[in-house]
Structure 1
Amino acid sequence: MKINRLLIFGFLFIQSFLFAQTKEVLFSIDNHPYYTDEFIRVYNKNLDLVKDDSQKDLDKYLDLFLGYKLKVEKANKLGLQNGANYQNELKSYRNQLSKNYLNDSKVTNELVREAYDRMQQEVRASHILVLVDEGASPQDTLKAYNKVLDIKKRLDAGEDFVKVAQQFSEDPSVKENNGDLGYFSAFRMVYPFENAAYKTKVGQVSKPFRTRFGYHIIKVVDKRVNRGEVTVAHIMVLKQTDVTQQEKAKTTIDDIYKKIQQGESFESLAQQFSEDKSSAPKGGVLQRFGSGQLSSEEFENVAFELKEKNQISAPFESQFGWHIVKLIEKHPVRSFDDMKMELEDKIRKDERSLLITNSLAKKVRGKYLFTKDAKLIAKIKGVVNDEFYSQTWVVPEKTKELEGTILTINKDKKVNSKVFLDFIASKQKSNIKTKPVAKLVDELFEKFIDEQLIAYYNDNLESEFTEFKNVMDEYRDGLLLFDLMEKEIWNRAKNDTIGLNEYFQKNIKNYQWKKRYSADILSSTDLKVIEKAQKFLKKGKSIDYIKEQLNKDGKINIMSKSGMYEEDYDVLPQFNNLSKGVSSIVSKDKYHFVVNITDEKPAGAKELTECKGKVISDYQQYLENHWVDELRKEFSININQDVFAKVKNQLNN
């Protein structure tokens, strides 16, 4: 569904140059005006995406743009903009888009550069943890701090880090790993931990530091250059649940490996036998990846351990099945410019984001005027009590003296005291221990101000940033268009069985089988072996019997596959006059083949059930192609040709 949306939003999401101009009405649909500034912006934005010069023709582009807006008008006419799913998705997208604006660019850029510099290395460290909750009482915090200081003294006196970790660390995993966390890079640990790891030299022990888990001491064991990314090809035999099938999978991967060792082509074997359907047609080649980007650590480790180009691993097992991996190329860590956007996204999801939020809070405090009601705050202090610390405090009901505007922002946003009372109640789970209660309320109100100011800033992004407003307007239209297409085209094509069948019958020439064969296809690099296989087939021997006779002494001499194939499948076109029975022998790409045809079916029309997915897709396209013509008849359209002439002159110059 997401991919379809991206295809539909043909006018969306690319930054563009905005012409300085006075906007005029370019056209109207049922008296709803559409302006020149939007048309010019959208045209320029899509200019680089259009490869066919005919699509750059402004008259044709106006037709496309008008058709797009007709669909949006139809969606609004049907009331799709009021749907709950539509409203929720629009809100979700706005929340996502606004994250780009809810930060301090200076702080963000500094964090991005820091993260990139750290990603040049991987750190191996061990740690000792003394647990203490973020909201622990001063007494408990002091107790934990004194304990970690005592541990640091032992280490400074020369005691072995591993033995001290085993004795004192409160990390449950210490029993298995002795505190060793292995290698990691930026974003793998909480930010304060990462800071300590990168700032501590190899062989040294850090000072005690605190994270949300408690107090830590770390020893940096090693630092190495980040191993970057790698491109590999693989052959995979899927894991099976049945024990017998598991053994068969292991035998198959071992057989393939022996064929490779015998000098057969890795790529050809991948194409024939790999059960990773996405990579097999490409000779098993996968997209490049780095540490932690795959779901299998075992696979990554084997891939990175390969040193020389074209080096091939022995068979190994992952949680997905059995693999053989071939190294294609190693890639160093990407450049800063290539990684910048990716790092920004990671920072927004990381503990580092608090630094950005705090910076933004400071910025909006200077941007907007705000006033608070001190008397109302004092009254609230009187109703908050020590139950807050035990998380049992509830907001008082029907207390008139607590009602009123507690915060005013820029004179146009008034925040009711009930919102602050609910804010206080929600913070009980944070385990804040500030005392007395009056001091607690003052502390929470300052956080409340920051939250409300940032929310106000967020609510007004459309008026603050033109590009934000443009993208939101375009996404709003695109989302409506998606819902409309689903209702008017896609669902109609799926559910209109009569119309679908009529379309199928009228276009039956597009849905034809070629001649098909039910066949066993046997292959070998040894001509004598394939000749023996041919003789066995003529005697009526089974595939299992043939393999048993020809694959001996740990050597795989013959492979096979069986199924119903069209006449142009793979090696079949190499055979002349295929018919039932055993074929002659043909050769292709250093392989010799023989085929046993057990049945054949003539060319002819497919049944609808055999190609329904393709027919539905074609029918959808047919409906869409005729849809705009119907909409042009439904709505009143008025194009201002004089204004369009000025637009063409401006764009052509």
Structure 2
Amino acid sequence: MNFRLIPISVCLLILFGFTAPLHAQKAMEDPVLFSIGKDNVRVSEFEYVYEKSNGADADYSAESINEFLELYKKFKLKVADARSRGMENNEQLEAELAQYRNQLADKYLSDDAMLDRLTKELYNRMKWDIDVSHILRMLPPGTPKEVKEAALEKLKEAADALASGVDFSAVAKKYSQDRSVSSNGGHLGYRRAKLPDGFYELETAIYNTAAGEMTYPVYSTLGVHLIKVHGRRPDPGTIEVAHILIRHPNPGEKDTSRQAIERIYEMLQAGGDFNKIAQQYSEDKNNRRQNGYLGKFKTGTYAPAFEDAAFSIPEDGAVSPPVETEFGWHIIKRISLDTLKDYEDEKRFLEEKIRSDDRYQLAQQAFLNRIKKEENFRKMDVSNEELLDVLTKKVFVMNWEVPQEYENRPLFQIRDSIYDLENFINYLAANLDARYQRSVVRDPASEVGHILDQYIDHEMMVFEKAHLEEKYPEFREIMREYREGIMLFEISKEKIWDRAGQDTSGLRSYFDKNRSDFHTAQNIYYNEFIVNTTNSRVLDKVEKLIRKKTPEKVLKKLNKAAEVVTYQSKKVSEGEFQDHFGTGQIKLADHEIYKKANSAAGITIFGQVQRIEPGEPLEFEDARGAVMSDYQKYLEDQWISELQKKYDIKLNESVLRSIIKS
């Protein structure tokens, strides 16, 4: 078999629609609603799929429940047939299910409350831009302790100098190891959340420091920072721009570039075409052929002067006065400006950002703390020093050899499962990254304890992931639905789609027996009346007149004082008529009336069918697509009929009555 995610997903969506909340069970019992052979369908499963399929229309009425019950029985018959053919137990299906389960499990393996807090925190930060400067001392991975201490001492010296009134730029140039400090004096300009992965602590410090204040030490993946906040402003959004650049020839000829950009600005002010001028004069070779197009960006992307000028442009299509940066002189054209949407509109996008960021570890740690309580986690009284005696200090190097003799001891317990020293050693042997250190370990016992904590977290996640179906009914239902969806796809492919595609004689025979069903579109002849009102009382009067009078008499009756109604005789295809009036199948009765209101225009359109002209019969090749579709439906109906005879369906009527609410 060849399982593919896209058609399976489509198959599921067609059958059941989009997701909706899982219906809460009203009691501990979960009775069987119906069974097909040995397969039971319980109330919880039926209610879950019923609500998921019907959404807001899931009213539990007798009509709605019975209609869906018939559909679901047919679905479960197909699944039972697939299961009887061994489609449930094969390596490809299990591999795809495992992949899907891993993806689905992620949303259940973090703390929802913490994730929600982080999402709202990020959204609120994104409303503001922070003007910030920093001094950075680099701390590469594995930096020795004495180097870290020296870095902190340098930041303290910098802080003392700033406190005494020394200019920040001068202090930054003396102490900062940021490569850009020589050109910007440590001034980063306006920055906006979210900062890149590994900079959450820095982002938090930037947003929590008051204007005019400084904070240190603040750590990031680069090292340790001292930051000073100069101010904040409402975030202007994401801007899309183009520019014209005139570069500085050399330090002594800046006037030349300034004069050139001023002449270009005068050309634009006189009505010159920005695109043509950019192509002709801009010295930015990367984009001048694209009319100077730079794309979209947020604050913190380009030089502060450039960004300030761009975000000051009042409207789309307008241009800025000349602005100077280290690259030369620019004229900027605003193309578009997008601002932050409402929280609910941004929420899903922000959650995805957080899941790929270091701050997500906070949500995971909160989750681990919660499940440790739920699963009665207990850590045994084994000291770090005792562990180190067994593992030896060589555990931190690549060529560590697993101890051959040791007293196996329990280390911790999750629910009823005991994890011992042997489990821990096997984990270390299989996970070089967990123990291998690129720097000298100065406190081996403490580091062993740290690695044990990592192992505990790992096993907690493995344990929780293995018990998701048990703890979360919705997870269990989604996995069952996905498994059965794959089986449905494969059995339908075999019994319907492939068969219809390969059975040319059967397809032709079906066409010959049902030739009258295949013809070109019918033509609809109708009278169209456009009434200049949406008033229901007036429209009732108009409709009665249309039914009783000829079009000429209708116009004469209604247009005495002013033109209230216009009339036109039309001929359109059946599809065009349906699109125009939003109808289903058109009735064949003469003078049937259809109505469509346009409140914005203040009019109502009546369409009175005069006659329907049948379409022309189609030959087999011309009708092949429609024949294929109808033949597949025919094969499906035959298959369902066979399954209903093959399998014994038992319905619990009393349980069904208990589900129905009206």
Alignment of 1:640 with 2:645, yes or no, is no
Q: Report if aligned partners of 2:435, 2:451 keep a CA contact under 8 Å in 1.
A: no
Match of 1:217 among 221, 226, 251: 226
Structure 2 residue 208 is the aligned partner of structure 1 residue 199: yes
Match of 2:19 in 1: 13
Write out per-residue CA displacement over residues 46-67 of structure 1, whole angstroms, 9 at most, x where no aligned residue: 2236699999643332232122
- After the TM superposition, which residues 220-231 of structure 1 pair with which residues of structure 2 at under 5 Å, given as runs? 220-228=229-237
Q: Separation in 2 of the partners of 1:620 and 1:417?
A: 59
Q: Mean Cα displacement is larger for which, 484-493 or 474-483?
A: 484-493
Pair 1:211–1:503, CA change in 2 (3 A): farther
Cα deviation, 1:182-213, whole Å, max 9, x if unaligned, reads 54322223211101211233454432311232
3-state SS of 2:358 partner:
coil
- Sort the Cα spacing of 1:140 and 1:33 in 2 relative to 1 into closer, same or farther, 3 A: same
Contact preservation (8 Å) 1:123, 1:183: yes
Aligned match of 1:444: 451
* Pair 649,379 (structure 1): closer, same or farther in 2 beyond 3 Å: closer
- Give 1:95 deviation, angstroms: 3.2
- RMSD of aligned residue pairs (Cα, Å): 5.1
Say which SS state the counterpart of residue 416 (structure 2) adopts.
Answer: coil
What is the match of residue 61 of structure 1? Answer: 68
Shift of 1:118: 1.0
Deviation at 1:215, TM superposition (A): 0.7
Q: Cα gap change, 1:32/1:110 in structure 2, threshold over 3 Å: closer, same or farther?
A: closer
| Corresponding residue of 1:401 | 406
Matches of 1:313 and 1:505, distance apart in 2: 66
In the TM superposition, 1:63-462 aligns within 5 A as 63-166=70-173, 168-172=175-179, 179-189=186-196, 190-228=199-237, 307-308=314-315, 333-370=340-377, 380-389=387-396, 391-396=397-402, 399-401=404-406, 406-412=411-417, 414=419, 416-422=423-429, 425-429=432-436, 435-462=442-469
- Matched to 2:120, the amino acid is R
Structure 2 residue 48 is the aligned partner of structure 1 residue 41? yes
In structure 2, do the counterparts of structure 1 residues 66 and 501 end up closer, same or farther at CA, with 3 Å as the change threshold? closer
**Cα gap change, 1:361 to 1:511, in 2 (>3 Å):** same
Change (3 A) 1:483 1:185: farther
Report if the CA contact (8 A) 1:131-1:170 is conserved. Answer: yes
Structure-2 separation of matches of 1:500 and 1:121: 68
Residue identity in the other structure for 1:410: R
Q: Deviations over 1:371-416 (max 9, x none)?
A: 5666798775234344444x4243417x253667544322245452
CA 134–339 in structure 1, closer or farther in 2 if over 3 Å, else same: same
Displacement after TM superposition at 1:156 (Å): 3.8
Question: In the alignment, is the contact (CA less than 8 A) between 2:133 and 2:228 conserved in 1?
Answer: yes
- 1:408 partner amino acid: Q
In structure 2, distance between residues paired with 1:5 and 1:71: 15
Q: Report how many aligned residue pairs link the two structures.
A: 486
| 1:493 Cα deviation after fit | 7.2
For residues 510 and 221 of structure 1, what CA distance do their matches in structure 2 show?
75
Amino acid at match of 1:396: V
Which stretch of the first structure deviates more once superposed, 167-176 or 132-141?
Answer: 167-176
Q: State the distance in 1 between where 2:394 and 2:508 align.
A: 72
2:542 paired residue number: none
In structure 2, what is the Cα distance between the partners aligned to 1:366 and 1:629? Answer: 55
Q: Secondary structure at the match of 1:187?
A: coil
Shift of 1:112: 3.1
The 5 Å alignment of 1:568-587 reads none
Match of residue 611 from structure 2: none
Q: CA deviation at 1:435?
A: 3.6
Judge which range, 419-428 or 115-124, deviates more: 419-428
Structure 1 gaps of 5+ residues are 235-257, 263-288, 293-299, 315-323, 514-602
CA distance in 1, matches of 2:626, 2:188: 51
Check 1:650–1:138 CA distance in 2 against 1; reply closer, same or farther (3 A cut): same
CA distance change for structure 1 residues 620 and 220 in 2, over 3 Å: closer, same or farther? farther
Paired AA for residue 196 in structure 1: A
Shift of 1:44: 2.8
* Percentage of identical aligned residues: 24
Asked whether the equivalents of residues 490 and 620 of structure 1 are also in contact (C-alpha less than 8 Å), the reply is no
Distance in 2 separating the partners of 1:617 and 1:220 = 68
Deviations 1:116-152 (A, max 9, x none): 2212112243433211135433122212222333333
1:470 partner SS: helix
Q: 1:616 to 1:393 in 2, by over 3 A?
A: farther
Measure the CA separation in 1 of the matches of 2:407 and 2:361.
32
Q: Secondary structure of 1:640's partner? A: strand
Kindly tell me: are residues 55 and 25 of structure 1, through their superposed partners in 2, closer, same or farther at Cα, counting changes over 3 Å?
closer
* 1:29-86 superposed Cα distances (whole Å, 9 cap, x missing partner): 3332222332233223322366999996433322321222233334434444444443
Alpha-carbon distance in structure 2 between the residues aligned to 1:4 and 1:225: 45
Structure-2 change in CA distance of 1:354 and 1:510 (3 Å)? same
Q: Which entry has the higher C-alpha Rg, 1 or 2?
A: 2
Q: Secondary structure at the match of 1:206?
A: strand
List per-residue Cα deviations over 1:7-44 (Å, max 9, x = no partner). Answer: 32243632143352654433333332222332233223
In 2, Cα distance between the equivalents of 1:621 and 1:65?
Answer: 22
For the Cα contact (< 8 Å) 2:507–2:631, is it kept in 1? no
State the alpha-carbon separation in 1 of the partners of residues 151 and 430 from structure 2. Answer: 30
Say if 1:619 and 1:604 are closer, same or farther in 2 by CA, change over 3 A.
closer
Return the letter of the residue paired with 1:640. K
Structure 1 residues 502 and 443, CA, compared in 2 at 3 Å: closer, same or farther? same
Q: Taking structure 1 as reference, are residues 55 and 344 closer, same or farther at Cα in structure 2, changes over 3 Å only? A: farther
For 1:171 and 1:606, locate their aligned partners in 2 and report how far apart those are by CA, in whole Å.
76
TM-score where L is the length of structure 2: 0.59
1:46–1:203 CA distance, 2 compared to 1 (3 A): same
**Distance of 1:396 and 1:132 partners within structure 2:** 33
Equivalent-residue separation in structure 2 for 1:203 and 1:470 (angstroms): 55
Provide the C-alpha distance between the structure 1 equivalents of 2:223 and 2:334, rounded to a whole number of angstroms: 42
CA–CA distance in structure 2, aligned partners of residues 33 and 110 of structure 1: 41
Native 8 Å contact 2:62 2:660 kept in 1: no
Match of 1:26 among 22, 27, 33: 33
Q: Which 10-residue stretch deviates more, 115-124 or 128-137? A: 128-137
SS of 2:97 mapped into structure 1: helix
* 1: CA distance, partners of 2:633 / 2:49: 22
Task: Give the secondary structure class of the aligned counterpart of 2:215.
Answer: coil
**What are the Cα deviations for residues 510-544 of structure 1, in whole angstroms up to 9, with x where unaligned?**
8999xxxxxxxxxxxxxxxxxxxxxxxxxxxxxxx
What secondary structure does 1:33 align onto? strand
- Give the secondary-structure state (helix, strand or coil) at the position aligned to 1:15: coil
Of 627-636 and 204-213, the range deviating more from structure 2? 627-636
